[in-house]
């Protein structure tokens, strides 16, 4: 058994692992400049992330391949099944954590309980679960299911997670006859080794999503792009948990780090000149069309402008600048908000690009808000 730990004075860093040639910045040049998603390249990337100092890898996942134009250019594609990929990455790294996405909708609790227990036990306590309900009708159709209404999906997810937690912790058979799920018996050993459970992460921004996170999760990934927005989420979570907080907002960000003043901004602008408008409209249509909280970020814009802003990475916190500028922003987040973790997407992903973050970690270490994961016995 391995108690789950985190140093409250420091930030943990998740690397948003590539689930396609690009994510959150649909630039054709970025798609061309990244390596193929081969097992060798992905394993090398996971090892580099571990070596550079990331605490965890976060693997997002969706099921349906209905975004045909985006797919053609490699935007959000190809993507391996998150938890199968997680096993490969956990098996070829030493201490980095791997958070993989598993849907509550479309699965049964015993599936997820068993997959999670296997991943956590096999990795000696390095797995976490990104709990998602699925936001797309196309995905539900793939399973031959009706698309379930938004808040009901979260109600179902709560019952689902309760059963998974029981299956993980109970050694005697359980007997649950719920509103949505039934489960009788017990899963085979192994059980997760992290205590009390592996970390649970979610990314809902709606009232139902935030309430779900406040009950079940350790991290709530958020598209908050400013400290004021993070503080407002802190307050909402504190009210919901009545001060008994375990969940903290994890800002989702996009990093381009270059040593010279203005160089990172120049690269960002250069990538934007090849923004794939068709792919952007397709993906934004899905995300902004299905997720009200994402749409609300751009509610002062017309639909075309909103799609282009979304496709340019403007829905996420930007860590674009010199190591000093990026580190200053992160130190300020640590000092002024309740965030314990930051999740980072690199629009250009390869081993060299990941290493551009090493000088940022050096500055954070000096400031006392980060320590190398190699020197401690936890990955979050
Ligand atoms: C950084 C990030 C990663 C996400 N990853 C996934 C994912 O892998 N699969 C998925 O179905 N939804 C994913 N989502 C969507 C959320 O799970 C959620 O459906 C969305 O944020 C809308 O939540 P809301 O309806 O409560 O506002 C992600 C969201 C964010 C911000």
Report the relative pairing of strands 2-3 and 194-195 from DSSP bridges.
parallel
161: confidence class by pLDDT, cuts 50, 70, 90: very high
> Reduced to 3 states, what is the DSSP secondary structure of residue 129?
strand
Mean pLDDT of the chain: 96
pLDDT attached to residue 178: 98
pLDDT at 246: 87
pLDDT in tens, 176-196: 999 999 999 999 999 999 999
Residue from 60, 214, 295 to probe ligand 1 pocket by mutation (most atoms less than 8 Å from CB): 60
40-54, 298-312, 348-362: the lowest-pLDDT one: 298-312
Residue labelled with tokens 């400031």: 367
| Residues 221 and 330: beta-carbon distance below 8 Å | no
Indicate whether 201 pLDDT > 80: yes
Distance CA 376, CA 222 (A): 27
Q: What is the DSSP string of 3-68?
A: E----TTS-EEEEE--SSSBSS--BHHHHHHSPP--HHHHHHHHHHHHHHT-SEEEE--------H
Nearest residue by C-alpha to atom 20 in ligand 1:
204
In the predicted structure, residue 245 carries a pLDDT above the cut 80 = no
- 223 touches ligand 1 (CB under 6 Å): yes
Distance from residue 366's CA to the centre of ligand 1 (Å) = 34
**In the chain, pLDDT over 70 holds for what percent of residues?**
100
The pLDDT assigned to 373 comes to 94
pLDDT tens for each residue of 11-42: 999 999 999 999 999 999 999 999 999 999 99
28 within ligand 1 shell (Cβ under 6 A): no
E-strand ranges in 178-218 read 182-185, 194-195, 200-202
Measured in Å, residue 264 CA sits from the centre of ligand 1 at 27
Token pair 């390249």 in the structure block, residue: 41
Give the tens place of pLDDT for each residue, 323-352.
Answer: 999 999 999 999 999 999 999 999 999 999
380, pLDDT greater than 90: no
Distances from the Cα of 320 to the Cα of 72, 255, 265, 330, angstroms = 28, 6, 6, 12
Instruction: Find the distance separating the first CA and the last CA of the chain, reported in whole Å.
Output: 16
Place of tokens 């282009």: 308
Mean pLDDT of 67-90: 96
| Residue 12 in contact with ligand 1 by CB distance below 6 A | no
Report the alpha-carbon distance of residue 378 to residue 126 in Å, rounded.
8
Instruction: Give the list of residues 6+ apart from residue 368 with CB closer than 8 angstroms, or none.
Output: 9, 10
Mean per-residue pLDDT for 161-185? 98
Residues 16 and 343 sit within 8 Å (Cβ to Cβ): yes
Q: Whose structure tokens read 């808000």?
A: 369
98-146 per-position pLDDT tens digit: 999 999 999 999 999 999 999 999 999 999 999 999 999 999 999 999 9
Q: Does residue 210 have its Cβ closer than 6 Å to ligand 1?
A: no
Residue ranges covered by each domain of the chain: 2-262+317-375
Cβ proximity of 178 and 163 under 8 Å = yes
Q: What is the pLDDT of residue 185?
A: 98
The pTM assigned to this predicted structure is: 0.97
Ligand 1 binding pocket includes 311 (Cβ within 6 Å):
no
64 by Cβ neighbours in 10 Å (0-12 / 13-18 / 19+) ranks as: middle
Q: At what angle do helices 150-169 and 109-122 cross, to 10 degrees?
A: 50
Of 257-271, 291-305, 307-321, the least confident:
291-305
Whether the CB of 293 sits within 6 Å of ligand 1: yes
Fold classified for 2-262+317-375: TIM Barrel (3.20.20)
Shortest-distance Cα residue to atom 22 of ligand 1: 204
């Amino acid at each position: 058994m391995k108690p789950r730990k985190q140093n409250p004075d420091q930030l943990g860093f998740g690397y948003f692992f590539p689930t396609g040639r690009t994510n959150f910045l649909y630039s054709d040049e970025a798609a061309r400049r990244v390596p193929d998603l081969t097992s060798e390249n992905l394993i090398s990337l996971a090892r580099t992330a571990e070596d550079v100092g990331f605490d965890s890898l976060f693997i997002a996942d969706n099921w349906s391949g209905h975004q045909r134009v985006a797919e053609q250019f490699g935007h959000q594609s190809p993507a391996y099944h998150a938890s199968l990929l997680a096993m490969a990455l956990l098996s070829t790294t030493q201490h980095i954590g791997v958070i993989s996405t598993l849907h509550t909708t479309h699965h049964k609790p015993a599936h997820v309980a068993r997959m999670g227990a296997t991943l956590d036990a096999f990795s000696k306590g390095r797995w976490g679960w990104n709990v998602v309900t699925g936001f797309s009708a196309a995905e539900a159709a793939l399973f031959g299911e009706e698309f379930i209404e938004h808040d009901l999906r979260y109600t179902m997810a709560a019952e689902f997670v309760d059963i998974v937690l029981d299956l993980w912790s109970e050694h005697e058979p359980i007997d649950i006859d719920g509103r949505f799920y039934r489960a009788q018996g017990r899963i085979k050993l192994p059980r997760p080794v992290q205590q009390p459970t592996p970390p649970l992460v979610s990314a809902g921004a709606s009232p139902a999503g935030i309430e779900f996170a406040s009950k079940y999760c350790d991290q709530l990934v958020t598209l908050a792009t400013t400290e004021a927005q993070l503080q407002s989420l802190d307050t909402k979570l504190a009210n919901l948990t009545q001060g008994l907080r375990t969940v903290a907002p994890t800002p989702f960000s996009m990093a381009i780090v270059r040593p010279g003043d203005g160089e990172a901004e120049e690269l960002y602008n250069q990538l934007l000149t090849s923004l794939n408008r068709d792919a952007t409209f397709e993906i934004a249509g899905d995300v902004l069309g299905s997720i009200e909280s994402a749409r609300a970020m751009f509610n002062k814009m017309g639909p075309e402008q909103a799609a282009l802003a979304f496709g340019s990475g403007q829905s996420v916190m930007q860590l674009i600048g010199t190591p000093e500028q990026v580190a200053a922003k992160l130190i300020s987040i640590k000092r002024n908000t309740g965030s314990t973790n930051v999740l980072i997407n690199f629009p250009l992903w390869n081993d060299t690009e990941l290493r551009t973050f090493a000088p940022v970690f050096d500055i954070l270490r000096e400031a006392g808000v980060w320590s190398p994961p190699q020197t401690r016995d936890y990955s979050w």
